[in-house]
Structure 1
């Protein structure tokens, strides 16, 4: 492995690779597994060559090495570092759709699979942008890209230094901010019409106290089972879709 490959970010898997090649993502190189003539890999190779991207046919062992033995499905795409958006960018996304802004604020999500899954839901539900902190939280990585199955190419992500200050700024712009916690109002009654931001907390600790104080309302998911918690991405999906439903009712 040369020094450039060691520094590269990788997108792995067939669907994420196709999504990246159809997007504006800056791609350095595509690695295709030799002796694999599947239709999906043939499509990936054709897409890459149309964009004049180098395609390298390599043994499976090479792909295993590049991906630390993850399930790469015979393809690895070496990309430039993931680009982050600005707050102005995500407001512009809402304006382009002629819609009131609908943002997600992720307070310390640490698992890249959770972030990727949340991005898939956000894309499906018409969320205009996701805001994450620069520290003590997962950033955009190849694992996030793979789990998002292409949504990373369509949902802009903003990194900020301070979530509390960012929320205060959003409220100054007329947005309503809703948090999620074990104690709050039933999320099924949430009316998300207008300009809204939804805060999803850390997998174990939830929303930090200072950020919770800035929320206009706290939403909770009623549960009657023995396990009184849900995976962060599952909980996010439920509340996001309540927002989606109420905004289109």
Structure 2
């Protein structure tokens, strides 16, 4: 009943009202202090990642579900083509070439019921001798891992590509005792074109590629695939400013020849072929940029039929490198 003062709790005892008391400012200080960074999953004993780590250490560093295990998704595989720290290279030729030259490899993936040939047998042999983890996965998982590319039942996980310094390319030529031959890509943004240029560079004895850091393709899984393993043998240097680097190289005695449709000379009359040389290849649409063009000692063009407007970077570089190689031979 309203106003019933006899109801229990209806009256407040004197001094029962809560209020501030001396020293309350420090009561919650410890609660507000952080507990430090969250430990990694593999360092938390209750986490499945820790159990996988322990199992891998017991098996000599080989993750559980290794070669011979066909069930379940491989550890760390999240369905993407690449992780934030690794690249996926697929295809028998690309994988075999990477293994032959000793590229660091995290994992080798093999499709179940893989049709063996000389390449796959050599892949398994090299990987086993080197102690690389071999994981047998379903083709569906391999399709997912390689983002649907033509993997031929084989893929590897490799660390991010380690770019060389531009001076390393000149040092490589000096060590070989030959005049430097380098291909510079200006505005080529398709990694498949980069891979094609790498393949031609490896075939015709170029000492490396120069690419700018911005607005340019990098050595990705797609470039690895198209290069057919040449990415493991031909170094690629990334520079902040391509025009400035070419200017410095010219001071060191290197000639620069650009490839463009409206060139001064035909590719058959390519100048400076036997001298220290950089061949500059631009994008198929825009060609060579103005600042880079200003650094060229000559502009060479490749005669083509009237029905074709231009050649892509990979084809143009291959033709030019063949001409240089023929002259030097």
TM-score (ref. length: structure 1): 0.95
Q: Does 1:33 align with 2:111?
A: yes
Residue 24 of structure 1, aligned match among 98, 102, 118: 102
Using the TM superposition, give the Cα deviation of residue 73 of structure 1 relative to its aligned residue in structure 2, in angstroms: 0.5
Aligned to 2:245: 166
Whether 1:177 and 2:256 are equivalent positions in the alignment is yes
**Partner Cα distance (2:97, 2:305) in 1:** 40
Name the structure 2 match of 1:137: 216
Decide whether the 8 Å contact of 1:190 with 1:246 is kept in 2. Answer: no
Unpaired stretches in structure 2, ≥5 consecutive residues: 1-74
Is residue 70 of structure 1 aligned with residue 149 of structure 2? yes
Partner in structure 1 of residue 275 of structure 2: 194
For structure 1, list consecutive stretches of 5 or more residues without a partner in the other structure: none
Does the 8 Å CA contact 1:21/1:47 hold for their aligned counterparts?
A: yes
Q: Paired residue for 2:321?
A: 240
Q: Residue by residue, what CA displacement relative to the aligned partner does 1:71-103 show, whole Å, maximum 9, x if unpaired?
A: 111011000111111122111211121101111
Note if 1:120 corresponds to 2:194. no
| Residue 15, structure 1, aligned to residue 115, structure 2 | no
How many residues align structurally?
A: 248
Q: Which whole-Å deviations, capped at 9, do the CAs of 1:107-157 have from their partners, x for residues lacking one?
A: 011111111111111111110110001111110001100100011111110
Distance 1:224 1:43 in 2: 44
SS for the counterpart of 1:6 is: coil
Instruction: Provide the secondary structure at the position in 1 that maps to 2:172.
Output: helix
- Whole-Å Cα distance in 1 between the matches of residues 284 and 89 of structure 2? 25
Deviation at 1:24, TM superposition (A): 2.6
Structure 1 position 3, deviation (Å): 6.5
Runs of 4+ in 1 over 4 A off after TM superposition: none
CA drift at 1:228: 2.7
Between structures 1 and 2, the one with greater helix share: 1
Give the number of the structure with larger relative contact order, counting CA–CA contacts within 8 Å between residues 6 or more apart.
Answer: 1
Give the alignment's Cα RMSD to 1 decimal. Answer: 1.4
Is the CA contact (8 Å cut-off) linking 1:110 and 1:203 kept in structure 2?
no
The two structures have a TM-score, normalised by structure 2, of: 0.73
